Every structure is written in structure tokens, then in C-alpha cells.
Amino acid sequence: MTTIPAFVPPQRTLMGPGPSDVAPSVLKAMSAPLLGHLDPVFVKMMDEIKAMLRQVFITKNEMTFPVSGTGSAGMEFCCANLIEPGDEVIIGVNGVFGTRMCDVAERCGAKVIKVEAPWGQIIEPKQVAEALRHHRPKFVAIVHAETSTGALTPVEEISKMAHDRGSLMLLDTVTSLGGCPVRLDDWGIDAVYSGTQKCLSCPPGLSPVSLSPRALEVATKRKTKVQSWYLDVNLLASYWGEQRVYHHTAPISMNYALHEALRLVLEEGLENRWLRHERNHLGLKAGLKELGLGIASQEGHQLWQLNAVTVPEGADEAGVRKQLLTDFSIEIGAGLGPMKGKIWRIGLMGATSTPENVKKVLGALKTCLNK
């Protein structure tokens, strides 16, 4: 029998749409000895994760914890718990993830009203206002940072309009959390999900979520059962809440990693972290300009953590990405959907967002483009 050698991954610089680079202390935390998932020491650590997540989301929401699963599980968690069959929901669609949310909401039985903007553009408040004139939805949902296009949609005005109509406000912060301001309570966000592998700089595997008391009441006073047993907040609350009733076996090592990643975020300070992401984005943008390259997403609403770089005429889009990976061990992302072949997606998320990485990717891009 042939034996397969142990897997040894190469050392990359992760400058794509996620996962981002992870601090050595986060990787070290994952190799710590396992505890039982109801061990009092682990349970205390779960409480610290919840407390740190509240600080990072800037919320007092009691129902704040990481769902076991990636960002898409958080999306399903919010939709499954809030939607009952036949409910109307309004979803902003300006890229892959708004499109995905429509699919998820439909599978939960919702009638989805799409508010669409061209990929790369933001969802304008007036578009939502127009949809709200004709509908009174269960929730209005927006993807804050569209990772597929690099656009950051402002949410405060849209959230206020949703509330004025008696609707909840749902926000996807998978790419925004930890990389730019996200202020749940100030913005009146009722349901939110994120991911660990972007600006929190933790491996993928958990989805931090938070529900406002209003959203929690909607989820607990439903007429129908939540169609997903795994993601039912009524069951998860007993596990992550005071009672600690077994629901599922929490991914122990992932929770260690998230604990350490959140600790690092708070040690740096949210404002400092946001400023670092802004500074490095501006540095990259200036360097791209010198190379004759620009950013494709809407001016004034460009993400700091995900840069959608326009592929110049005549350049070999896939060839450049391949060369960056093989010659420089740098991963960047390709465009998706209508932006396929037209943009490169350069991530400056979490630990990846450094001036050294900006310099490195600009130098490598220059070499590849000269070829």
C-alpha cells in the first residue's frame, strides 16, 4: 500500500477575497489541546467570545454568538429564523451575495422583492424607498460590503426607512466587520451575520451573528417552526445562553481561533483597525494609478478591504493571476458574474492589510504586466 505524505501547504500571501492571512497566535490557538464542548473552561471562553463580538459589532444585543458554519450559514440563520412562508422581503442585489441571499430567502418560503443596481454600484436609498412605497416587507436586507464588486453600500438611511415602514433591517457584514465601521445599535440593525475569514483574520468556519430584541421576538413568536433544525435560534439560544443545553458539538478549535482573533482586533482597537484598512487601500490605489490601473467600483463607495482593479486592455487576466501565484506566491481573486475577466480582486483584509503587502503586490503586478 502506498502511503500519502503529510500535507504541507506552501506559504502564500492571501490577497484575494478571503480567506486573509492569519496571525501566528491565531494558528497557535488552534493547536491547543481540545476541551469538551460543555467543559466549564470552554463555556467561560464562549462567554468571552460573545462579549468580544458585542464590542466588535458595537451592540448590546444579548443574542450575539458565532454560528458553526461559514458566512453562508449566517445568511441562512438570519433568513430561516425571520422568514415564515409567504412573507415578503426586500433584498438589495448588486453582486453575487445579494443574489445568493435572494435564493436563500426563497428557499425559506419568502416572496422576494429585488432592488437591483449594476454590479460595482451601491444600492441607493431612493430605490429602497420606491420599493417600500408598494410593500411592507418582513425585512429589508443589504450586503454592506459586496465582496464580488468592491462596493460599500451605506446602510443608515435605508435602515431608518425600513423601520419607518415597520420592517426589520438585515445586514450582511461578512467582508465589512473589522475592516470598516459597522455600528449595529447606532444604525438600528436587527439581524446581522459575518464571517471569520475576512477582516477578523481567522480561518473560515464560524459565522458571528447578532439579533436585536425585536428580531429575536419575531423568531420566538413565529407561527411555524424554523425550517432548519440546525440554525433555529430557539434551540441555539439554550446552548449559547445561560442553560448550556447540548444542541450540537461546537467546533472547539475554531472557537479558540476566533477568541484569539477577536482579542487581537480589540487590542488593536476598532478605529485604529479601520484607519489601517483605509490607509493601505489609499496606498494601493495610488500605486495602481502609477501603473495606469484604476478601481472599477463606484467612486466614493469603494471598499478599503477589497479592491476591484480594472484589467487593462490586452492584459491576460488569468495569466497574471497565475503568475502572481506561481512566481510570487501571492493569491488574488478573479471577477465573478458580469465582472468575470474584467477585474482582479485584491484583498487587503485584516492581517493582510499592511504597507509591505501593498508594495509587494504592486511590484509583482508590474512585473507580470510588463511580461
Ligand X SMILES: Cc1ncc(COP(=O)(O)O)c(C=O)c1O
* Contact positions vs ligand X (CB under 6 A): 17-18, 70-72, 75, 97, 143, 147, 172, 174-175, 195, 204
User: Contact at 8 Å (CB) between 193 and 208?
Assistant: yes
Scanning the chain, the segments in alpha helix (DSSP H) are 24-30, 40-57, 71-82, 96-107, 125-134, 156-164, 184-187, 213-220, 233-240, 252-268, 270-290, 317-328, 355-370
- Rounded to the nearest whole angstrom, what is the least distance from the CB of residue 113 to ligand X in the complex? 20
Instruction: Kindly state the cell numbers that stand for 55.
Output: 464590542
- Name beta bridge partners: 346: 307
- Cα–Cα distance, 189 to 166 (Å, whole number): 13
Q: Which is nearer to ligand X, 174 or 219 (CB)?
A: 174
- Rounded to the nearest whole angstrom, what is the least distance from the CB of residue 20 to ligand X in the complex? 11
User: Contact at 8 Å (CB) between 231 and 73?
Assistant: yes
Q: What is the DSSP letter of 352?
A: G
- Name beta bridge partners: 371: none
DSSP secondary structure, 324-341, as one string? HHHHH-EE-EEP-GGGTT
Q: Which is nearer to ligand X, 92 or 283 (CB)?
A: 92
Q: Which is nearer to ligand X, 74 or 323 (CB)?
A: 74
Q: Which is nearer to ligand X, 40 or 118 (CB)?
A: 118
- Rounded to the nearest whole angstrom, what is the least distance from the CB of residue 44 to ligand X in the complex? 27
- Rounded to the nearest whole angstrom, what is the least distance from the CB of residue 204 to ligand X in the complex? 5
Q: Which is nearer to ligand X, 94 or 323 (CB)?
A: 94
- Rounded to the nearest whole angstrom, what is the least distance from the CB of residue 193 to ligand X in the complex? 8
What Å distances lie between residue 114 and 44, 93, 99, 255, 266, CA to CA? Answer: 42, 6, 9, 35, 36
Q: Which is nearer to ligand X, 72 or 367 (CB)?
A: 72
- Name beta bridge partners: 143: 172
Q: Which is nearer to ligand X, 108 or 364 (CB)?
A: 108
What residue number has its CB nearest to ligand X?
Answer: 71
- Rounded to the nearest whole angstrom, what is the least distance from the CB of residue 253 to ligand X in the complex? 17
User: Contact at 8 Å (CB) between 161 and 140?
Assistant: yes
Q: Torsion angle of alpha carbons 211, 30, 177, 208, nearest 10°?
A: -10
- Rounded to the nearest whole angstrom, what is the least distance from the CB of residue 219 to ligand X in the complex? 20
